[in-house]
């Protein structure tokens, strides 16, 4: 999937944000506090299975008919279904924003899926501040690739 960096976009209103890193163990600790089946009422369309893993993401926005990365970082996948995923993130994306999520497969393999953010819910964590549960619906993928 082709994305463009901020330097390639001649638009002064785009602000790129790199999130502060959160350790894998911090995400795992928060995940342990959240029931795998929890979701806001009326949001669930299909059964989700527990699938906990660290993944990278990029929040995308359209600027002058181009896809621009406005934020990137790491998230923790809590669970997934055939068409969706629930993440824990440091930043709260807006509903209907597009997010590209990269997850690891066996060895050097990676998988990318593109999701639309459906909902966010804040989770207060004493040592980390506010993190966000993010429910997403897949719009494209999976696309598998090799990363060295």
Residue 57 sits in a domain whose CATH number is: 2.40.10
Inside any domain, residue 40: no
Tokens of 95: 């509903």
Q: Between these two residues, 108 and 21, which has the higher pLDDT value?
A: 108
Inside any domain, residue 89: yes
Which residue in 138, 131, 135 sits closest to 43, CA to CA?
135
**pLDDT exceeds cutoff 90 at 98:** yes
Q: Between these two residues, 106 and 118, which has the higher pLDDT value?
A: 118
Q: CA-CA distance, 68 to 35, in Å (whole number)? A: 34
Domain membership of residue 28 as a residue range: 14-35+48-146
User: Region 68-80: what's the mean pLDDT?
Assistant: 90
What is the residue-wise DSSP string for 36-52? TT---TT---S--EEEE
Inside any domain, residue 3: no
Burial track 107-117 (b if 16+ CB lie within 10 A, e otherwise)? eeeeebbbbbb
Q: CA-CA distance, 89 to 67, in Å (whole number)? A: 21
Inside any domain, residue 60: yes
User: Region 89-113: what's the mean pLDDT?
Assistant: 88
Inside any domain, residue 118: yes
Q: Please classify residue 35 by burial: count the beta carbons closer than 10 Å to its beta carbon, then call 0-12 exposed, 13-18 middle and 19+ buried.
A: exposed
pLDDT confidence of residue 35:
54
pLDDT confidence of residue 62:
81
Ranges of H-type helices in 13-78:
24-33
Inside any domain, residue 5: no
pLDDT tens column, 9-62: 343 344 444 555 555 566 566 656 655 445 555 555 667 667 788 999 999 888
Inside any domain, residue 2: no
pLDDT confidence of residue 57:
94
The rounded mean pLDDT for the chain is: 76
Number of Cβ atoms within 10 Å of the Cβ of 138:
17
């Amino acid at each position: 999937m082709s994305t463009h960096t901020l330097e390639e976009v001649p638009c002064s209103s785009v602000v790129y944000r790199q999130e502060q890193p959160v350790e894998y163990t911090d995400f795992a600790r928060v995940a342990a506090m959240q029931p795998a089946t929890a979701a806001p009422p009326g949001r669930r369309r299909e059964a989700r299975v527990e699938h906990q893993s660290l993944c990278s993401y990029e929040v995308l926005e359209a600027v002058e008919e181009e896809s621009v990365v406005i934020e990137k970082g790491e998230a923790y996948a809590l669970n997934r279904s055939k068409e969706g995923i629930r993440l824990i993130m440091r930043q709260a994306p807006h509903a209907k924003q597009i997010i590209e999520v990269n997850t690891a497969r066996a060895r050097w393999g990676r998988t990318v899926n593109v999701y639309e953010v459906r909902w966010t819910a804040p989770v207060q964590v004493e040592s980390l501040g506010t993190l966000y549960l993010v429910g997403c619906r897949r719009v494209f993928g999976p696309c598998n690739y090799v990363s060295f």
